[in-house]
Homo-oligomer: A and B are copies of this chain.
């Protein structure tokens, strides 16, 4: 192989590592994306220009065409897609990567296979590539709404596992027996495609991101296998990197959703269990965590904190002040919106916040702050409930109807911290929590805010 190309691949590999690393921190993520992308460009250009092969111009033209077409499609889709549709696009792209790997495997198979090692790589490349492809396409379709319903195949776990076992056994047989019959490989291909479909189809939409991440990790492995096949280091190392990082990411996502990866892989995914029945009554709630809330607030221009009785119960006044100071240091404009009846006695919030030395100038009365919500990036509601309940405007039957409230729903993002979905003093449901803009940060206010402050410091 060409020595310069080797160096180019080496450099590309390093950019992958560094790029991935940078992608893991909010402050460097954008740059990381560029770094990784430029490494990829380098690898592709190097492959094209630095080989020692004799290649007919026709093939160059074909390659050029393929790159043009592919590049145009990719770029267009990426630019056109709506913000909310991005995850499914990622899934689609991932499927393409898998398909590419499977196709390469097929071509390799069509040539004579060498030793068992090579057979293993080629066949596993095809299997993994194919199931990644079909699985990703299904995931894309489900998220996109093309395949709507959660299809409940009876005994799907059993069927899936049997299918998977058959594929593995059959592939093993092919390797050991040295079978090169095209029929067989197409059979295997078909089975793999089918497995991908069956694997993803029964899974609920909410779990899709985990599935996509898992499939993504598999594509990485497929790429690594292809690298093995061509003795190509950039594919090998790059693929493994994606594979291992992808698994870790999948686990992290599972953890963020309070599931285990085992449960995910072995079919505990699924229809019935994903959504807690109760919440459904009014709508879906979105949960968030301290890390996300911290990032949202860190990158906001202005934040309004709405304290309520829960802040007093949790005795979180000192932490909220710390949070406010920290955000202010970061250049975020922070105010407190004080509802006249927040808490359990007149001036409850004032006593509380005075104790932690919050500047009086930051406390804004309801009438003054209400017009400011539409221009507010993030509202953080801490242990308040009735005082931000839109039922006061909307629901004449509600006991608080007619009471002026803090119109937090006009803000761009709303983070609500409380311990549970329990109602407040007035004992009524709060629609705000089901608002699409609202993310619930569950937990005792003191603990949750302490975590939030810690996350913020790590940014």
Contacts and interface: CB of A to CB of B under 8 A. Distances in A.
A286 interface: no
A454 B315 CA distance: 20
Helix, strand, loop or mixed for chain A's interface?
helix
Interface residue range, chain A: 10 to 19
Give the oligomeric copy count: 2
Interface string A285-320: 000000000000000000000000000000100110
Contacts of A355: 355, 357
A318 B321 contact: yes
A51 interface: no
Nearest to A319: B322
Interface in A229-286: none
A110 B268 CA distance: 65
Contacts of A321: 318
A319 B315 CA distance: 15
A21 interface: no
A457 interface: yes
Contacts of A454: 454, 457
A356 interface: yes
Contact of A315 (B315, B322, B357, B457): B357
A190 B17 CA distance: 41
A356 B318 CA distance: 7
A18 to B, nearest CB: 15
Interface of A: 315, 318-319, 321-322, 355-357, 454, 457
13 contacts: A315-B357, A318-B318, A318-B321, A318-B322, A318-B356, A318-B357, A319-B322, A322-B322, A355-B355, A355-B357, A356-B356, A454-B454, A454-B457
Q: Which 9 pairs from chain A and chain B are nearest by CB?
A: A318-B318, A454-B457, A318-B356, A355-B355, A318-B321, A318-B322, A454-B454, A315-B357, A355-B357
